[in-house]
Structure 1
Protein backbone atom coordinates (compact mmCIF):
# COMPACT_ATOMS: atom_id res chain seq x y z
CA UNK A 1 0.00 0.00 0.00
CA UNK A 2 1.27 3.45 -0.95
CA UNK A 3 1.05 6.46 1.32
CA UNK A 4 0.65 9.95 -0.15
CA UNK A 5 1.28 13.05 1.91
CA UNK A 6 -1.85 15.11 2.56
CA UNK A 7 -0.46 18.28 0.89
CA UNK A 8 0.43 16.38 -2.29
CA UNK A 9 -2.99 14.71 -2.40
CA UNK A 10 -4.72 18.09 -1.92
CA UNK A 11 -2.65 19.57 -4.74
CA UNK A 12 -3.54 16.70 -7.09
CA UNK A 13 -7.26 16.94 -6.28
CA UNK A 14 -7.24 20.70 -6.90
CA UNK A 15 -5.44 20.23 -10.23
CA UNK A 16 -8.03 17.66 -11.27
CA UNK A 17 -10.87 20.00 -10.28
CA UNK A 18 -9.24 22.84 -12.22
CA UNK A 19 -9.05 20.62 -15.29
CA UNK A 20 -12.76 19.70 -14.97
CA UNK A 21 -13.96 23.28 -14.44
CA UNK A 22 -11.63 25.22 -16.74
CA UNK A 23 -14.40 26.24 -19.16
CA UNK A 24 -17.20 26.59 -16.63
CA UNK A 25 -18.57 29.76 -15.08
CA UNK A 26 -17.28 30.91 -11.73
CA UNK A 27 -20.22 31.21 -9.35
CA UNK A 28 -18.18 32.03 -6.26
CA UNK A 29 -16.57 35.32 -5.31
CA UNK A 30 -13.09 35.88 -6.73
CA UNK A 31 -10.21 35.03 -4.41
CA UNK A 32 -7.25 36.44 -6.32
CA UNK A 33 -6.50 38.16 -9.58
CA UNK A 34 -3.52 37.44 -11.80
CA UNK A 35 -2.42 38.95 -15.09
CA UNK A 36 -1.11 36.90 -18.00
CA UNK A 37 -0.10 37.86 -21.52
CA UNK A 38 -3.49 36.83 -22.91
CA UNK A 39 -5.49 39.01 -20.55
CA UNK A 40 -6.58 39.47 -16.98
CA UNK A 41 -8.11 36.48 -15.26
CA UNK A 42 -9.84 35.93 -11.95
CA UNK A 43 -9.46 32.67 -10.09
CA UNK A 44 -12.33 31.82 -7.82
CA UNK A 45 -13.10 29.47 -4.99
CA UNK A 46 -15.14 27.05 -7.10
CA UNK A 47 -12.18 24.72 -7.63
CA UNK A 48 -10.03 27.31 -9.36
CA UNK A 49 -12.12 27.98 -12.47
CA UNK A 50 -11.00 30.90 -14.62
CA UNK A 51 -13.03 33.85 -15.93
CA UNK A 52 -11.37 36.01 -18.57
CA UNK A 53 -11.73 39.77 -18.26
CA UNK A 54 -11.55 41.28 -21.74
CA UNK A 55 -13.09 44.68 -22.49
CA UNK A 56 -12.16 47.84 -24.37
CA UNK A 57 -13.59 51.28 -25.04
CA UNK A 58 -11.87 53.62 -27.50
CA UNK A 59 -12.91 56.92 -29.14
CA UNK A 60 -11.34 59.41 -31.50
CA UNK A 61 -9.90 62.31 -29.57
CA UNK A 62 -10.40 65.74 -31.09
CA UNK A 63 -11.66 66.67 -34.51
CA UNK A 64 -9.91 64.65 -37.21
CA UNK A 65 -10.57 63.97 -40.87
CA UNK A 66 -11.03 60.28 -41.66
CA UNK A 67 -10.56 58.95 -45.16
CA UNK A 68 -12.73 56.12 -46.55
CA UNK A 69 -9.49 54.77 -48.08
CA UNK A 70 -8.10 53.54 -44.71
CA UNK A 71 -8.64 49.92 -43.71
CA UNK A 72 -9.70 50.71 -40.15
CA UNK A 73 -10.61 53.80 -38.18
CA UNK A 74 -7.92 54.53 -35.59
CA UNK A 75 -9.63 55.16 -32.26
CA UNK A 76 -6.71 56.81 -30.47
CA UNK A 77 -8.30 57.70 -27.11
CA UNK A 78 -8.32 54.34 -25.31
CA UNK A 79 -10.37 54.67 -22.14
CA UNK A 80 -10.46 50.96 -21.18
CA UNK A 81 -8.37 48.08 -22.52
CA UNK A 82 -8.56 45.08 -20.17
CA UNK A 83 -6.69 42.19 -21.72
CA UNK A 84 -4.92 44.51 -24.20
CA UNK A 85 -6.98 43.22 -27.12
CA UNK A 86 -7.48 46.63 -28.75
CA UNK A 87 -4.53 48.14 -30.65
CA UNK A 88 -4.79 51.89 -31.18
CA UNK A 89 -2.03 51.82 -33.84
CA UNK A 90 -4.12 49.52 -36.08
CA UNK A 91 -7.63 50.34 -34.83
CA UNK A 92 -8.28 46.60 -34.50
CA UNK A 93 -9.38 44.31 -31.69
CA UNK A 94 -7.59 40.94 -31.78
CA UNK A 95 -9.17 38.00 -29.93
CA UNK A 96 -6.85 36.04 -27.65
CA UNK A 97 -9.45 33.88 -25.90
CA UNK A 98 -12.17 32.19 -28.02
CA UNK A 99 -15.73 32.94 -27.02
CA UNK A 100 -18.74 35.16 -27.57
CA UNK A 101 -18.13 38.91 -27.67
CA UNK A 102 -20.36 41.94 -28.00
CA UNK A 103 -19.31 45.08 -29.86
CA UNK A 104 -20.83 48.55 -30.07
CA UNK A 105 -19.93 51.34 -32.45
CA UNK A 106 -21.33 54.78 -33.05
CA UNK A 107 -21.61 57.40 -35.77
CA UNK A 108 -22.36 61.09 -35.82
CA UNK A 109 -21.88 62.51 -39.33
CA UNK A 110 -20.64 66.04 -39.91
CA UNK A 111 -23.47 68.47 -40.60
CA UNK A 112 -22.39 68.78 -44.24
CA UNK A 113 -22.10 65.00 -44.77
CA UNK A 114 -25.49 63.82 -46.00
CA UNK A 115 -24.66 60.15 -46.62
CA UNK A 116 -22.24 58.44 -44.18
CA UNK A 117 -21.63 54.69 -43.79
CA UNK A 118 -19.42 52.80 -41.29
CA UNK A 119 -19.02 49.01 -41.21
CA UNK A 120 -18.18 46.48 -38.51
CA UNK A 121 -15.58 44.15 -40.06
CA UNK A 122 -14.45 40.71 -38.87
CA UNK A 123 -11.36 39.28 -40.59
CA UNK A 124 -12.12 41.33 -43.72
CA UNK A 125 -15.81 40.37 -43.91
CA UNK A 126 -18.40 43.14 -43.61
CA UNK A 127 -20.92 42.12 -40.93
CA UNK A 128 -23.11 45.10 -40.06
CA UNK A 129 -23.23 48.81 -40.77
CA UNK A 130 -24.62 52.17 -39.75
CA UNK A 131 -25.94 54.25 -42.62
CA UNK A 132 -26.80 57.82 -41.72
CA UNK A 133 -28.70 59.83 -44.32
CA UNK A 134 -29.62 63.40 -43.43
CA UNK A 135 -30.17 66.74 -45.08
CA UNK A 136 -27.40 69.32 -45.20
CA UNK A 137 -27.14 71.26 -41.94
CA UNK A 138 -28.64 68.48 -39.81
CA UNK A 139 -26.97 65.74 -37.77
CA UNK A 140 -28.20 62.24 -37.01
CA UNK A 141 -26.49 60.12 -34.32
CA UNK A 142 -26.61 56.32 -34.43
CA UNK A 143 -25.05 53.31 -32.74
CA UNK A 144 -25.27 49.58 -33.25
CA UNK A 145 -24.54 46.43 -31.22
CA UNK A 146 -23.31 43.14 -32.59
CA UNK A 147 -22.71 39.79 -30.91
CA UNK A 148 -20.02 37.59 -32.48
CA UNK A 149 -18.28 34.31 -31.82
CA UNK A 150 -14.53 34.82 -32.14
CA UNK A 151 -11.65 32.39 -32.32
CA UNK A 152 -8.13 33.22 -31.16
CA UNK A 153 -6.51 35.48 -33.74
CA UNK A 154 -9.79 36.84 -35.18
CA UNK A 155 -9.74 40.60 -35.74
CA UNK A 156 -12.62 43.07 -35.54
CA UNK A 157 -12.56 46.72 -36.61
CA UNK A 158 -14.64 49.64 -37.88
CA UNK A 159 -14.25 50.94 -41.43
CA UNK A 160 -15.58 54.13 -43.01
CA UNK A 161 -17.06 53.39 -46.43
CA UNK A 162 -18.26 56.88 -47.33
CA UNK A 163 -19.05 60.28 -45.89
CA UNK A 164 -17.46 62.26 -43.08
CA UNK A 165 -18.07 61.41 -39.43
CA UNK A 166 -17.73 64.08 -36.76
CA UNK A 167 -15.06 63.08 -34.25
CA UNK A 168 -15.19 65.92 -31.71
CA UNK A 169 -15.98 65.32 -28.03
CA UNK A 170 -15.43 61.53 -28.29
CA UNK A 171 -18.51 61.22 -30.53
CA UNK A 172 -17.07 58.37 -32.65
CA UNK A 173 -16.40 55.30 -30.44
CA UNK A 174 -15.82 51.54 -30.61
CA UNK A 175 -16.35 49.21 -27.63
CA UNK A 176 -16.29 45.49 -27.05
CA UNK A 177 -16.16 42.89 -24.31
CA UNK A 178 -16.27 39.15 -23.88
CA UNK A 179 -19.55 37.69 -22.64
CA UNK A 180 -18.11 34.21 -22.06
CA UNK A 181 -15.32 31.96 -23.28
CA UNK A 182 -15.64 28.66 -25.13
Structure 2
Protein backbone atom coordinates (compact mmCIF):
# COMPACT_ATOMS: atom_id res chain seq x y z
CA UNK A 1 0.00 0.00 0.00
CA UNK A 2 1.17 3.49 -0.89
CA UNK A 3 1.84 6.03 1.95
CA UNK A 4 -1.03 8.47 2.42
CA UNK A 5 -1.29 11.97 3.84
CA UNK A 6 -4.02 14.46 2.94
CA UNK A 7 -6.29 17.05 4.52
CA UNK A 8 -8.95 19.52 3.48
CA UNK A 9 -10.37 22.01 5.98
CA UNK A 10 -12.63 25.08 6.06
CA UNK A 11 -12.72 27.89 8.56
CA UNK A 12 -16.22 26.69 9.43
CA UNK A 13 -17.18 29.34 11.97
CA UNK A 14 -16.68 33.07 12.21
CA UNK A 15 -13.98 33.61 14.78
CA UNK A 16 -12.93 37.26 15.10
CA UNK A 17 -9.40 37.27 16.38
CA UNK A 18 -6.13 39.13 16.07
CA UNK A 19 -4.32 35.76 15.94
CA UNK A 20 -2.15 35.38 12.87
CA UNK A 21 -2.28 31.59 12.48
CA UNK A 22 -5.53 30.62 10.80
CA UNK A 23 -7.09 27.66 12.61
CA UNK A 24 -9.42 25.92 10.20
CA UNK A 25 -11.84 24.02 12.44
CA UNK A 26 -14.29 22.39 10.02
CA UNK A 27 -12.73 19.13 8.82
CA UNK A 28 -13.70 18.06 5.31
CA UNK A 29 -11.02 15.32 5.22
CA UNK A 30 -8.24 14.55 7.71
CA UNK A 31 -8.25 10.76 8.01
CA UNK A 32 -4.54 10.55 8.92
CA UNK A 33 -4.86 13.43 11.45
CA UNK A 34 -1.75 15.19 10.17
CA UNK A 35 -3.55 18.56 10.36
CA UNK A 36 -4.47 19.89 13.82
CA UNK A 37 -7.59 22.10 14.02
CA UNK A 38 -6.48 23.13 17.53
CA UNK A 39 -3.16 24.63 16.37
CA UNK A 40 -3.78 25.22 12.65
CA UNK A 41 -0.59 23.31 11.81
CA UNK A 42 0.02 20.48 9.36
CA UNK A 43 2.81 18.21 10.63
CA UNK A 44 4.68 16.04 8.17
CA UNK A 45 4.77 12.35 9.12
CA UNK A 46 5.83 10.94 5.73
CA UNK A 47 8.85 12.64 4.09
CA UNK A 48 8.08 13.62 0.52
CA UNK A 49 6.78 16.13 -1.95
CA UNK A 50 3.50 17.82 -0.91
CA UNK A 51 1.09 20.21 -2.59
CA UNK A 52 -0.78 22.85 -0.55
CA UNK A 53 -3.64 25.08 -1.75
CA UNK A 54 -5.70 27.77 -0.06
CA UNK A 55 -8.39 30.32 -0.68
CA UNK A 56 -9.27 32.86 2.00
CA UNK A 57 -12.33 35.02 1.51
CA UNK A 58 -13.22 38.17 3.47
CA UNK A 59 -15.88 40.90 3.37
CA UNK A 60 -13.34 43.53 4.41
CA UNK A 61 -9.77 44.17 3.35
CA UNK A 62 -7.99 42.27 6.13
CA UNK A 63 -4.60 41.93 4.51
CA UNK A 64 -3.51 38.73 2.87
CA UNK A 65 -2.75 35.12 3.72
CA UNK A 66 0.77 33.72 3.80
CA UNK A 67 1.89 30.10 3.55
CA UNK A 68 4.67 29.26 6.01
CA UNK A 69 6.96 26.24 6.36
CA UNK A 70 8.91 25.94 9.63
CA UNK A 71 8.59 29.72 10.28
CA UNK A 72 9.85 30.55 6.76
CA UNK A 73 7.61 32.43 4.35
CA UNK A 74 6.91 30.27 1.31
CA UNK A 75 4.30 32.36 -0.46
CA UNK A 76 2.33 35.57 -0.19
CA UNK A 77 -1.18 35.04 -1.47
CA UNK A 78 -2.45 36.36 -4.75
CA UNK A 79 -5.17 38.85 -3.76
CA UNK A 80 -8.13 40.22 -5.72
CA UNK A 81 -11.41 41.99 -4.99
CA UNK A 82 -14.45 40.27 -6.49
CA UNK A 83 -18.15 41.03 -5.92
CA UNK A 84 -17.67 42.80 -2.60
CA UNK A 85 -15.28 40.13 -1.28
CA UNK A 86 -11.53 40.05 -1.02
CA UNK A 87 -9.97 36.77 -2.11
CA UNK A 88 -6.45 35.61 -1.22
CA UNK A 89 -5.25 32.38 -2.79
CA UNK A 90 -2.14 30.34 -3.34
CA UNK A 91 -0.74 26.97 -4.30
CA UNK A 92 2.72 25.54 -3.67
CA UNK A 93 4.69 22.30 -3.86
CA UNK A 94 7.12 21.69 -0.97
CA UNK A 95 9.62 18.99 -0.08
CA UNK A 96 9.03 18.12 3.58
CA UNK A 97 10.89 16.06 6.15
CA UNK A 98 9.39 14.26 9.14
CA UNK A 99 8.35 16.83 11.76
CA UNK A 100 8.20 19.80 9.37
CA UNK A 101 5.24 22.14 9.93
CA UNK A 102 3.15 24.04 7.36
CA UNK A 103 0.41 26.59 8.11
CA UNK A 104 -1.37 29.73 6.96
CA UNK A 105 -1.12 33.14 8.62
CA UNK A 106 -3.27 36.22 8.07
CA UNK A 107 -1.06 39.31 7.89
CA UNK A 108 -3.56 41.50 9.78
CA UNK A 109 -5.28 38.85 11.93
CA UNK A 110 -8.20 36.64 10.99
CA UNK A 111 -11.00 39.11 11.75
CA UNK A 112 -13.27 39.31 8.71
CA UNK A 113 -12.46 35.96 7.10
CA UNK A 114 -15.55 34.16 5.86
CA UNK A 115 -16.47 30.68 7.01
CA UNK A 116 -15.95 29.27 3.50
CA UNK A 117 -12.19 29.97 3.51
CA UNK A 118 -10.27 26.71 3.00
CA UNK A 119 -6.83 25.09 3.18
CA UNK A 120 -5.81 21.71 1.82
CA UNK A 121 -2.70 19.64 1.27
CA UNK A 122 -1.67 16.19 0.13
CA UNK A 123 1.34 13.98 -0.42
CA UNK A 124 2.28 13.78 -4.09
CA UNK A 125 4.91 11.09 -3.50
CA UNK A 126 7.16 9.88 -0.71
CA UNK A 127 10.95 10.33 -0.92
Q: Distance in 1 between matches of 2:56 and 2:20?
A: 17
Scaled by the length of structure 1, what TM-score is found? 0.63
Partner residue in 1 for 2:45: 96
Q: Distance in 2 between matches of 1:132 and 1:165?
A: 15
The CA deviation string for residues 143-173 of structure 1, in whole angstroms up to 9 with x for no partner, is: 21110000000000000112644323xx211
Query: In the alignment, is residue 122 of structure 1 matched against residue 122 of structure 2?
Result: no
Structure 1 vs Structure 2 CA RMSD: 2.1
Q: Distance in 1 between matches of 2:62 and 2:22?
A: 18
Q: Distance in 2 between matches of 1:114 and 1:125?
A: 24
Q: Which residue of 59, 63, 67 maps to 2:14?
A: 63
Q: Distance in 2 between matches of 1:66 and 1:149?
A: 31
Give the number of the structure whose alpha-carbon radius of gyration is greater.
Answer: 1
Partner residue in 2 for 1:15: none
Aligned partners of 1:55 and 1:178 also within 8 Å: yes
The CA deviation string for residues 63-90 of structure 1, in whole angstroms up to 9 with x for no partner, is: 22132xx252111111111321101111
Which aligned runs of 4 or more in structure 1 are off by greater than 4 angstroms?
A: none
Offset, 1:179: 0.2
Q: Distance in 2 between matches of 1:131 and 1:52?
A: 31
Higher helix share: 1
Indicate the structure whose relative CO is greater, using CA pairs within 8 Å and at least 6 residues apart. 2
Aligned partners of 2:52 and 2:120 also within 8 Å: yes
Partner residue in 2 for 1:139: 85
